[in-house]
Structure 1
Amino acid sequence: MAVRLGVVAVVLGTTAAVAPGQAALAASEASGTALTPSSYAFADGARSIEGARSTADALLLKPGTAYKSSLPSSGEVNYRLELDASSNAYVSVTAVPSPGSTVSVIDGVKVSVQDAEGNSCSDNTESFGAARSPHPIAAWGRREIAPNKSLCQKSGAYYVSVERADPEGEGSSPDTWALELLATTEPRTASTGATTAPEVWNSATPQPLQGDSQRRPGGAGFSEARPLDQGVWRDDIRPGQTLFYEVPVDWGQQLAVTAELGSSDSGGTGYAADALDLALYNPARGPVADVGVGYDGDQKSGSLPPLPPVDHANRYAVIGQVGAMRFAGSYYLVAHLSESVADSFGDGPFKMTLRVRVSGEPRGGPAYAGESEPTGVFEVSDQDREAAAEGVAAGDDTAMRVVAVGGIGTGSALLVGLGVWTVVARRRGTA
């Protein structure tokens, strides 16, 4: 199991070597300034893998292992899964265009899964939308075992195909995109449960959570997502920047999020469509819902659509955003500020507020007949709740944060440094 350390230590004026993303995150929190727009933070230890043009040459993706690959501007790349006949399998593909590249409204990434006979198991397309601002977006593929399905139920080889959503590339740069891939397996339940989605749930839009905000800087990738619990959270975001957060949501709990973008002090005028994009992904990094907030320099806000309580039976729903709320675990909030905001209102940073509400008491989930891969990804542990309460920047396995200490003696600095280490064991590690 890989161990990831994000450490910032200042002793006698010397800064320790650190993982880049965690160092920047800790430094930004200490200084009170936002991270500047930067490249996506891939999972530490992500394995490089080349996508094949033909399924015959497709290389194996092992569930629980993060991979780094690339996607050309045209044509598809293929990867292989080896699956049993009882587990559900999910593959999330995060596409990362180069900063400054051009993307069209319909451009994005398409992920599909087929069995060895060429039958389609699923397909999902995610696009950049009206803002046309390049940023990390994720789509997922699924092989689901279900009593009402006849295809894609056998054990054996399955193929994951990834391609651009706009293969003609009109209005988009012909750049090669970086990819991060993560396959997850979910075991079958020990006993037969509901085979239809819950018909009744509170679909009313809740009032945004009120109260004073607390500062909680976001991370630069899924693996560096900053834990949040219920509360009002404040961060700074710059045009072109994407920030990642994670919220533990247990079985029976309902998540509601409102994003606000503060007014500009630049004196600029204009309007940016979908300036702030807030997307929600589930524990398998599958897209759930998103909201775009237009910006004209004044205070603006937008809320995710009403989402059902987390329930295993949600997977049988016809509506995609309901079906995606199918398991407990860490749900990811991904906020992106469009590059176009800088044209009218400057480089910022802009003040962003996230109002996060987690309602309902946790209840017991389904009894799984086995372990997920990665282990524990579809549950909320005490460590997850502690991390969310403390806002510890945790990696895939272990996160360690040392608060910088200055202006005191060497011995005191060492003692304080040792005293403020916060260690949180994480269970979504890469192999």
Structure 2
Amino acid sequence: MGHGFTPWWSDDGEGWRVRGRCRTAWGRRAQAWHHRPSAAVRAGAVAVVLGTTAALVPGQTAAAGEASGTPSPYAFADGAQSVEGARSTGNAELLKPGGSYKSSLPSSGKVNYRLELDAASNAYVSVTAVPSPGSTVSVIDGVKVSLQDAEGNSCSGDTASFGAARSPHPIAAWGVRDISPNKSLCQKAGVYFLSVERVDPQGEGSSPEAWDLELVAMTEPGTAKTGATSAPEVWNSATPQPLQGEAERRKGGAGYTGATPLDQGVWRDDIRPGQTLFYKVPVDWGQQVSVTAELGSSSSGGTGYTTDALDLDLYNPARGRVAGVGVGYNGDQKSGSLPPLPPVDHANRSAATAQVSALRFAGSYYLVAHLSEGVAGTFGDGPFVMTLRVRVSGEARGGPEYAGESEPEGVFEVSDQDREAAAEGVAAGDDTAMRALAVGGIGTGSALLVGLGVWTVMARRRSAA
């Protein structure tokens, strides 16, 4: 430390103290502690230490919220621009590729947004609908997303619903504009319109509150090789065995942009009723991903059954849904697996089934886990232990030769940084964890020294008085 002081730290139940060899003025100051200040002075010093530490450690407030038992709300992308959905396409606001936006969806009627696309790039717009906590939804209620060109021709349509559990949580659907020699519509450069609406706004049990929306626009460049393609017909469709091994703890994120990276392995997390957790798995060209989700037995001793208590969905890098599984729960250990999925291949986009077509590019595939609110009524507030067994099989191979860059850049590829992030559980390019480590190891120690210095000064003044 530069003061001839070699401390180690311990908590003796009365607050943090420093112990070690005292060789300089620092040590003599520490000896002044035998003049113990009053309880009020000690409390003030501790408040300084804790206040300083809390100011330095990111995510302190969120951690406190989780500890209180309240599920974390959905975390929108940092810097998301607010836009208002227009009732008429004539007033629709522009969504730019690579941008993230926050909007709202009323209980009835469409809202519209505008895109300006070229004639060479594939375009994707993901719409994540976030009902308010405590709202109610019907079985078939959800969000419907459609994309049209300026002439009113339909480019794509997609819906997402809450399912049998009727538990409100973030759900996502996407709009797609494919450039393909097999298609005649939606191939021109120009203005396109994205429309978003509720699937069943008047459904029984659905509350009328507006929902928050997160919209993300992306573009994928065309390939240097042109011509019609067809989806691969042969692939290993056998049901994979769940990966075995000891589970390692990884805390899920509260949104897509904060999704926790995972690589192949067995991962454990705590989840509460009504909570949704986000993870992402790098899957390269030619690789297959399989996932089994397990929900641990209840410790409350309650009896009953919740349909689709644990909902696990897989989304591709453009946040288009690939597949999902619902796990019913009666208080005993339960598990469910995603269906067998083909390897990631650029040609999959030509497949007739949406599940295969969605596996069209490499990148980070998202796992979104939600525990139904209904679990709390029978088995308590938890938390419940959730285990994810993630397998990524097959050798990574080269992808298509893109004739340009995607927006945002690198979203449809797996980099070395992505693999390292998945191994460490820290998002590539995100130094939050490193800052937390630095703060925890160095910043907290500095904060403690500041607090201890204040305490020492108080004690000496009291002694002199």
TM-score normalized by structure 1?
Answer: 0.88
Flag the 1:79–1:103 CA change in 2: closer, same or farther, 3 A.
same
Deviation track 1:26-46 (CA, whole Å, cap 9, x = no partner) reads 779xx9x79741211000100
Please, which of 26, 44, 59 is the counterpart of residue 78 of structure 2? 44
Correspondence for 2:53: 15
Q: Which sections of structure 1, spanning at least 5 residues, go unmatched?
A: 1-9, 415-431
Please, which of 111, 127, 137 is the counterpart of residue 77 of structure 1? 111
Deviation track 1:102-123 (CA, whole Å, cap 9, x = no partner) reads 0000000000000000000000
Please, which of 297, 300, 307 is the counterpart of residue 334 of structure 2? 300
- The answer to whether the 8 Å contact 1:252/1:360 transfers is yes
Matched, 1:315 2:325: no
Correspondence for 2:445: 410
1:167 Cα deviation (Å)? Answer: 3.1
- The answer to whether the 8 Å contact 2:49/2:447 transfers is no
Correspondence for 1:284: 318
- The answer to whether the 8 Å contact 2:181/2:227 transfers is no
Deviation track 1:211-237 (CA, whole Å, cap 9, x = no partner) reads 000000000000110000000000000
Flag the 1:18–1:365 CA change in 2: closer, same or farther, 3 A.
farther
SS in 2 for 1:405: helix
Which shifted more, 35-44 or 244-253?
35-44
Q: In 1, Cα distance between the equivalents of 2:161 and 2:359? A: 21
SS in 1 for 2:224: coil
- The answer to whether the 8 Å contact 1:73/1:176 transfers is yes
- The answer to whether the 8 Å contact 1:405/1:413 transfers is no
- The answer to whether the 8 Å contact 1:24/1:35 transfers is no
Which shifted more, 10-19 or 335-344?
10-19
Question: Quick one: percent identity of the two aligned structures?
Answer: 77
1:319 Cα deviation (Å)? Answer: 1.0
Correspondence for 1:423: none
Correspondence for 1:400: 432
Which residues of 2 match residues 233-252 of structure 1 at below 5 A? 233-252=267-286
Please, which of 330, 342, 348 is the counterpart of residue 364 of structure 2? 330
Correspondence for 1:372: 406
Which residues of 2 match residues 128-143 of structure 1 at below 5 A? 128-143=162-177
Correspondence for 2:394: 360
Flag the 1:19–1:144 CA change in 2: closer, same or farther, 3 A.
farther
Correspondence for 2:453: none
1:298 Cα deviation (Å)? Answer: 0.2
TM-score normalized by structure 2?
Answer: 0.82
Paired letter, 1:15: T
Q: In 1, Cα distance between the equivalents of 2:335 and 2:228? A: 37
- The answer to whether the 8 Å contact 2:303/2:378 transfers is yes
Q: In 1, Cα distance between the equivalents of 2:334 and 2:127? A: 31
Q: Which fold has the larger relative contact order, with Cα–Cα distance below 8 Å and residues 6 or more apart in sequence?
A: 1
Q: In 1, Cα distance between the equivalents of 2:90 and 2:275? A: 38
Paired letter, 2:230: T
- The answer to whether the 8 Å contact 2:182/2:228 transfers is no
- The answer to whether the 8 Å contact 1:278/1:290 transfers is yes
Correspondence for 2:128: 94
- The answer to whether the 8 Å contact 1:81/1:160 transfers is yes
Matched, 1:382 2:416: yes
Aligned length: 399
Deviation track 1:356-396 (CA, whole Å, cap 9, x = no partner) reads 000011000001000000000000001100100000156xx
The structure whose residues are more often helix, as a share, is: 2
1:398 Cα deviation (Å)? Answer: 3.2
Q: In 2, Cα distance between the equivalents of 1:290 and 1:252? A: 21
SS in 2 for 1:234: strand
- The answer to whether the 8 Å contact 2:84/2:103 transfers is yes
Q: CA RMSD, aligned part only? A: 2.3
Deviation track 1:55-91 (CA, whole Å, cap 9, x = no partner) reads 0000100011100000000000000000000100000
Deviation track 1:309-355 (CA, whole Å, cap 9, x = no partner) reads 00000000111111000000000000000000001000000000000
Matched, 1:174 2:212: no
Paired letter, 2:267: W
Q: In 1, Cα distance between the equivalents of 2:447 and 2:104? A: 48
1:408 Cα deviation (Å)? Answer: 10
Q: In 2, Cα distance between the equivalents of 1:241 and 1:409? A: 31
1:25 Cα deviation (Å)? Answer: 6.9
- The answer to whether the 8 Å contact 1:35/1:237 transfers is no
Q: Which sections of structure 2, spanning at least 5 residues, go unmatched?
A: 1-46, 450-465
- The answer to whether the 8 Å contact 2:181/2:228 transfers is no
Flag the 1:410–1:351 CA change in 2: closer, same or farther, 3 A.
closer
Q: In 1, Cα distance between the equivalents of 2:56 and 2:227? A: 47
Q: In 1, Cα distance between the equivalents of 2:416 and 2:68? A: 29
1:194 Cα deviation (Å)? Answer: 6.0
Flag the 1:16–1:194 CA change in 2: closer, same or farther, 3 A.
farther
Correspondence for 1:266: 300
Paired letter, 1:80: R
Paired letter, 1:311: D
Flag the 1:284–1:332 CA change in 2: closer, same or farther, 3 A.
same
1:191 Cα deviation (Å)? Answer: 1.2
Q: In 2, Cα distance between the equivalents of 1:184 and 1:290? A: 23
Correspondence for 1:120: 154
1:168 Cα deviation (Å)? Answer: 2.5
Correspondence for 2:90: 56
